[in-house]
């Protein structure tokens, strides 16, 4: 299979132009839900910070592909490509470009300063917000003018490159000092190298792609471009949820990225699964989220990690070695004990959430009449995780009976205490009061597949069908009084819920409904891209438009569909030897 010369074309308004390993991107997105008129060089070190505004001559059109960004007007053009994670090369024929500090006001505690380095003559912008320098080195041609050099206060700081002669520059992000820029490979060769890198990644993670999976290459680009090298609190190569404003790793989102990468890039997949566990606290809890300069523990996320580990291991093209499995077993044990020991009221068999944010479904209607709740989804995920631990313990010659017995107790309590004969309810651990909602969250025990009695599973399947719109699974039925088209978890379609429900239905024997769920979601992504979530009635993408767990969910479901059709789905060119 082949890819387009520079990879798939996409809207720069929706998806940033970036490169695997880089903390930089080029995008008009300069803050949460905030779009500038010009494209900016944006850094995600210490948060999302627009550093440099890139303003070409008027009248240009932008074309973005996986490996080349182009501004063009008639035959004139400016082209940008990554030389590496911290270096961009930009060249022009017939167009001028202004590079300006995005934060012109300079104080001791904010803003960007511009100076000329006497060592090599380069122009250097230093950003207080990122704590990094951005060096502009002219490789051919010359600067036309510069303004605000060594200025203090609110001065504009900029460099102008001319339209009347060809030019090429390099922009580097670094900390305090580095050697003068050394001439790299010619620009055209650089582009060929980037195309080859991306093509190899696509071939590894989606070798099954074809005309019936037209969004596979773009999904692969969203993952590839959102990957960053280890830095700050990010201890491993990590796929951020986005290189827009959702530039973190949340402690359940990462599971879907790991599964999607498992066959084609097993080492990167294993890193995705393990990253939150690197920050496990003394109680065994995983953090809510991790980013370059922040780890948050004010909430947690649901224990889907046993479910995810099973899927991950089945897909890994190279298995983890014994040491990696032993470490994972102990990490998963501590995370499970957190729910059993710290999140169960005395005398209660079921664990509880302390807020909707703990569930990952922040504002779902399940939590409308109370935030501290024992919920069916949590109990079901925990049962699955306990089963995973029992299997892993047996494999490692560790005691397994305790995990199995605890899984039986939690499952029995789930059915005894939260099932009302037709639907699962949620219960306040303080008062014992139970309440049913219409949220899809209450139907998530379907993830247990055949673990539940057949009449219960049948009722869940019927309930799930009431959430299906022509675009997929609405998180709140569209006929609900609480439905909101852009209500976050109160209506929109979400990728993780889709994957979990589809998998549970299939394992429970409801393949026809599962096929329908999968088909509609795949078509939705092919129509509307990889947004954080989608309007359940129109299919329009909502919120952050370059969300990796959505891209991963497309790859997971598309690969599974191809496998069911008899196509091989294993990654090509994957590393050999066990993952550590």
Q: What is the DSSP string of 13-27?
A: TTS-B--TB-SEEEE
Residues 465 and 508 in one domain: yes
Note whether 403 and 527 are same-domain residues: yes
**Domain assignment of residue 1, yes or no:** no
**Same domain as 303, residue 184:** no
Where among 192, 222, 239 does a domain terminate?
Answer: 192
Domain shared by 527 and 405, yes or no: yes
Residue 571 confidence class, pLDDT cut points 50, 70, 90 = low
24 assigned to some structural domain: yes
Nearest alpha carbon to residue 220 among 247, 241, 201, 194 = 201
- The predicted pLDDT at position 105 comes to 87
Give yes or no: residues 261 and 338 share one domain.
yes
Radius of gyration of the chain (CA): 25
Q: In the listed set 192, 225, 259, which residue is the last one of a domain according to the structure?
A: 192
CATH code for the domain of 489: 1.50.10.10
Report percent pLDDT > 70 for the chain.
97
pLDDT at res. 1: 31
Q: What is the mean pLDDT of residues 116-128?
A: 97
- Domain assignment present for 153: yes
276 and 402 inside one domain: yes
Show the 3-state SS of 291-322: ECCEEECCCCCCCCHHHHHHHHHHHCCCCECH
> Domain of 17: which CATH number?
2.70.98
Q: Report the number of secondary-structure helices (H) and strands (E) in the chain.
A: 13, 26
- The whole-angstrom separation of Cα 318 and Cα 419 is 41
471, 384, 310, 534: CA torsion to nearest 10: 20
Q: Answer yes or no: is pLDDT of 570 > 80.
A: no
Task: Indicate if 214 and 253 belong to the same structural domain.
Answer: yes
Helix %, strand %, coil % of the chain (to 5): 35, 25, 40
Q: Tell whether 256 and 373 lie within a shared domain.
A: yes
Alpha-carbon distance of 66 to 198, in angstroms, equals 8
Q: What angle do CA 534, 38, 34 make, to 5 degrees?
A: 40
- Residue whose entry in the numeric block shows the structure tokens 């980013």: 291
Q: Work out the average pLDDT over 520-524.
A: 98
pLDDT of 2 over the 80 cut = no
Half-sphere exposure of 217 (CA within 13 A, CB side): 22
75-99 pLDDT per residue, tens: 999 999 999 999 999 999 999 999 9
State yes or no: pLDDT of 225 exceeds 80.
Answer: yes
Residue 164 resides in a domain: yes
Q: Are residues 253 and 295 located together in one domain of the fold?
A: yes
Mean pLDDT of 409-413: 98
242 and 152, same structural domain? Answer: no
With respect to residue 198, please indicate whether it lies within any of the assigned structural domains.
no
- Tokens representing 365? 């209607």
Residue span of the structural domain in which 299 resides: 206-564
567: pLDDT confidence band, cut at 50, 70 and 90? Answer: confident
249-288 pLDDT, tens digit per residue, is: 999 999 999 999 999 999 999 999 999 999 999 999 999 9
DSSP per position, 259-300: HHHTTT-HHHHHHHHHGGGGG--TTSPPPSEEETTEEE-SS-
521, part of any domain: yes
Among the candidates 192, 214, 242, a domain finishes at 192
291 domain residue, yes or no: yes
Q: Is the pLDDT of residue 473 over 50?
A: yes
Question: What values do phi and psi take at 79, rounded to 5?
Answer: -125, 140
Of 331, 328, 303, which is closest to residue 313 (Cα–Cα)?
328
- pLDDT tens for each residue of 369-400: 999 999 999 999 999 999 999 999 999 999 99
The conformation of residue 450, written as its DSSP 8-state character, comes to G
* β-pair partners for 434: 427
- Which residues face 138 on adjacent strands? 169
The number of distinct structural domains making up the chain is 2
Q: Are residues 479 and 355 in the same domain?
A: yes
Q: Is the pLDDT of residue 575 over 50?
A: no
Residue 396 domain-assigned?
Answer: yes
314 and 437 in a single domain? The answer is yes
Q: Across 110-157, where does the E strand assignment appear?
A: 112-116, 123-127, 132-140, 145-147
pLDDT surpasses 90 at 332? yes
Summary mean pLDDT of the chain: 96
Read off the pLDDT of residues 418-439 as tens digits, 9 standing for 90 and up.
Answer: 999 999 999 999 999 999 999 9
């Amino acid at each position: 299979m082949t890819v387009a010369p520079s990879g798939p074309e996409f809207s720069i308004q929706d998806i940033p132009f970036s490169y695997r390993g880089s903390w930089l991107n080029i995008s008009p997105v300069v803050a949460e839900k905030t779009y500038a008129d010009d494209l900016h060089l944006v850094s995600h070190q210490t948060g999302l910070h627009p550093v440099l505004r890139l303003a070409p001559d008027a009248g240009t059109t932008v074309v973005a592909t996986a490996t080349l960004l182009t501004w063009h007007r008639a035959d004139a053009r400016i082209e940008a490509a990554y030389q590496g994670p911290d270096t961009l090369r930009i060249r022009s024929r017939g167009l001028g470009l202004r590079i300006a500090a995005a934060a012109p006001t300079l104080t001791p505690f904010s803003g960007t300063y511009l100076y000329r380095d006497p060592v090599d003559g380069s122009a250097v912008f230093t950003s207080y917000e990122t704590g990094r320098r951005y060096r502009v080195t002219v490789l051919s041609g010359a600067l036309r003018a510069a303004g605000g050099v060594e200025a203090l206060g609110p001065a504009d700081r900029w460099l102008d490159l001319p339209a009347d002669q060809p030019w090429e520059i390099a922009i580097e992000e670094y900390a305090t000092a580095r050697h003068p820029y050394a001439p790299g490979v010619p620009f055209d060769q650089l582009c060929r190298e980037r195309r080859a890198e991306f093509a190899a990644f696509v071939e590894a993670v989606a070798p099954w792609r074809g005309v019936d999976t037209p969004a596979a290459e773009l999904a692969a680009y969203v993952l590839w471009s959102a990957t960053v090298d280890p830095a700050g609190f990010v201890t491993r190569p990590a796929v951020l949820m986005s290189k827009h404003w959702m530039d973190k790793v949340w402690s359940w989102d990462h599971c879907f990225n790991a599964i999607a990468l498992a066959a084609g890039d097993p080492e990167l997949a294993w890193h995705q699964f393990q990253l939150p566990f690197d920050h496990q606290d003394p109680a065994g809890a995983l953090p809510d989220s991790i980013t370059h300069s922040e780890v948050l523990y004010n909430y947690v996320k649901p224990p889907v990690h046993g479910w995810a580990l099973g899927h991950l291991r089945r897909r890994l093209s190279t298995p983890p070695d014994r040491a990696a499995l032993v470490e994972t077993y102990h990490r998963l044990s501590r995370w499970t004990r957190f729910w059993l020991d710290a999140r169960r009221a005395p005398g209660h068999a079921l664990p509880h959430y302390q807020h909707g944010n703990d569930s990952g479904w922040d504002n779902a209607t399940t939590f409308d009449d109370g935030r501290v709740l024992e919920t069916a989804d949590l109990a079901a995920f925990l049962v699955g995780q306990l089963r995973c631990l029992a299997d892993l313990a047996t494999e490692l010659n560790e005691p397994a009976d305790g995990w199995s017995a605890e899984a039986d107790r939690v499952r029995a309590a789930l059915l005894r205490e939260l099932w009302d004969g037709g639907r699962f309810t949620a219960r306040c651990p303080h008062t014992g009061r139970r309440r049913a909602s219409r949220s899809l969250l209450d139907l998530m025990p379907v993830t247990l597949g055949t673990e539940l009695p057949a009449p219960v599973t049948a009722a869940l399947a019927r309930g799930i069908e009431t959430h299906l719109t022509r675009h997929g699974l609405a998180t709140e039925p569209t006929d609900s009084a609480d439905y909101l088209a852009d209500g976050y978890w109160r209506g929109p379609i979400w990728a993780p819920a889709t994957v979990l429900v589809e998998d549970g239905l299939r394992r429970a024997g409801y393949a026809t409904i599962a096929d329908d769920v999968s088909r509609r979601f795949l078509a939705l992504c092919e129509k509307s891209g990889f947004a954080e979530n989608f309007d359940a009635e129109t299919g329009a993408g909502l919120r952050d438009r370059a969300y990796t767990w959505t891209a991963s969910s497309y790859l997971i479901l598309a690969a599974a569909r191809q496998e069911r059709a008899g196509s091989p789905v294993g990654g090509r060119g994957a590393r050999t030897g066990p993952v550590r």
